[in-house]
Amino acid sequence: MSDYQLLIGGRLVAGEARMDVINPATEEVIASCARASNPQLEAAVAAAKAAFPEWARASLDERKRVLTAIAAAIDANADALARLLTLEQGKPLSDASAEVRHTAAFFRYFATLELPVRVVTGKGGQRTEVHRRPLGVVAAIIPWNFPLLIIAFKVPAALLAGNTVVLKPAATTPLATLELARLIAQIVPPGVINVVADANDLGAALSSHPDVRKVSLTGSTATGRKVMGGAAQTLKRLTLELGGNDAGIVLDDVDPAAVASRIFDGAFQNNGQVCLALKRLYVHSSIYDRMCDELTAIAERTVVGDGMSSGTRLGPLQNRMQYERVATLVQDAAKHGATIKGGPIEGRGYFFRPTIVRDIDDGARLVDEEQFGPVLPVIRYSDDEDALRRANSSAYGLGGSVWSADPERAYALAARLEAGTVWINTHMGINPDVPFGGAKQSGVGVEFGLDGLLEYTQLQVITRPS
Ligand code: NAD
């Protein structure tokens, strides 16, 4: 097993300091890992910069070979990586195993893409070609909810396009990433990927570094604003996948019993710690009570426990700060007269019952803010247009869903939701070949698919005699 070291310039190195990592199910220290200093961050960026010219010249086939080899290494170490994910993130082992599988699948997917060269004109004795060139050093900054999978949203696209990378995990979930660093040190040419772990103190220096040409951040909208500010000085390219407050609208023709488990999954997967989780549910008054009862019944029979125990469906929240934030939002809802079914679980570990909150309205913090936890506010409405207006009255615009027995009726409303991704009769679900990005303050740019790959490139137009 790894000593959890940094990867800088092809070498695994100890951090100038170390930091403890906590298991959110037990609140015990599970490991100590390397913590990078500012000079080590500088060394990582310098190594990525030095490796860039040769990597940019490598053939596409060579880069694809590296991505495929990383995918194979992830698969070959899937059990160990999944255990680390459960220990540091809290999610059940089966979910952690699925995350590891999907991480490898994203690396493999990007290895199937091509970088197209377009010929725009061929007239008058000239040929104009539109090439896609890499940018240089890419900073990939990762949150704590899907520590491995979100790496695979960024790193394979950046590498395939010919960029080099400095990767930084979240402070509370560095272990699986550092284990991955140990594996890829054998595969990737020195400096092409560098991994630095921090105690949430190096993000600003990395994302504003003059030698970083692009920042790809998945994190909160507040952090996205800071990254955008720090990028201004050298006009960096940005992909920002940020927060959300996804609304679902359940129309009056829906049978609550038929959809409740799908709605529950859309809201509570990964304990609601998903950017694209359903975070506000608007339900027509004619079916409101039955919908609340169905959701509450599912919540009450959901097994919450240590992710290492078989049978656990939801683990603890990932960290104390998030646990306290979610508890505060629920207390605030109670103060405003809402009915709460669920709530925090006393004792060790950041455990929280999946919680259904009814008799609540817009204006409550739980409805207006991103809870990012296992609590779903269910809001009554009586007019579809009013529900749509309320769903859209948010600074966020990541995802949304409309639920109806009549797909055409749902589609008409769905098309008017101000969100980057909209579903009918389901919520959540991503695919490596389907572009994904937020509207409004949920993000800038897209990930996945050819659209996502092209964000790691810049155009070069060459005109020459044909
Ligand atoms: P966060 O913004 O606190 O941290 C994300 C990462 O940014 C961490 O690695 C952190 O160390 C780093 N960071 C912190 N300050 C920084 C700075 N000034 N400059 C650069 N980097 C900095 O987010 P979190 O609490 O880890 O994750 C939860 C948030 O992420 C939620 O808002 C959630 O919706 C969002 N999220 C979005 C998506 C998406 O695809 N849109 C996916 C997952 C999570």
**Model pLDDT for residues 134-185, shown as the tens digit of each residue:** 999 999 999 999 999 999 999 999 999 999 999 999 999 999 999 999 999 9
Q: Please tell me the distance from the alpha carbon of residue 413 to that of residue 253, in angstroms, as a whole number.
A: 14
The dihedrals phi and psi of 238, each to the nearest 5 degrees, come to -135, 140
Q: How many CB atoms lie within 10 A of CB 260?
A: 22
Out of 33, 179, 275, 455, the active site residue is 275
Q: Is 397 in the pocket of ligand 1 (CB under 6 A)?
A: no
Confidence of residue 448 (pLDDT cuts 50, 70, 90): very high
Atom from ligand 1 closest to the CA of residue 215: 20
Confidence of residue 2 (pLDDT cuts 50, 70, 90): low
Report CA(148)–ligand 1 centroid distance (Å): 14
Residue 59: per-residue pLDDT: 98
- Which residue, by CA, sits nearest to atom 23 of ligand 1? 219
Atom from ligand 1 closest to the CA of residue 322: 25
For residue range 375-428, list pLDDT tens digits in order. Answer: 999 999 999 999 999 999 999 999 999 999 999 999 999 999 999 999 999 999
Return the percentage of the chain with pLDDT > 70, whole number. Answer: 100
Please say if 292 is a catalytic residue.
no
Report CA(238)–ligand 1 centroid distance (Å): 14
Atom from ligand 1 closest to the CA of residue 207: 20
The dihedrals phi and psi of 444, each to the nearest 5 degrees, come to -135, 125
Q: Please tell me the distance from the alpha carbon of residue 237 to that of residue 215, in angstroms, as a whole number.
A: 6
Q: Is 396 in the pocket of ligand 1 (CB under 6 A)?
A: no
* 147 touches 24 (CB < 8 A): no
Q: Model pTM? A: 0.97
The dihedrals phi and psi of 168, each to the nearest 5 degrees, come to -130, 120
Q: Is 218 in the pocket of ligand 1 (CB under 6 A)?
A: yes
Mean pLDDT over 262-274 rounds to: 98
Mean pLDDT over 231-239 rounds to: 98
Q: Is 209 in the pocket of ligand 1 (CB under 6 A)?
A: no
Q: Is 355 in the pocket of ligand 1 (CB under 6 A)?
A: no
Confidence of residue 192 (pLDDT cuts 50, 70, 90): very high
Q: Is 200 in the pocket of ligand 1 (CB under 6 A)?
A: yes
- Is residue 1 over pLDDT 80? no
Residue 123: per-residue pLDDT: 74
Please say if 241 is a catalytic residue.
yes
Confidence of residue 319 (pLDDT cuts 50, 70, 90): very high
Report strand pairing: 126-134 vs 137-141: unpaired
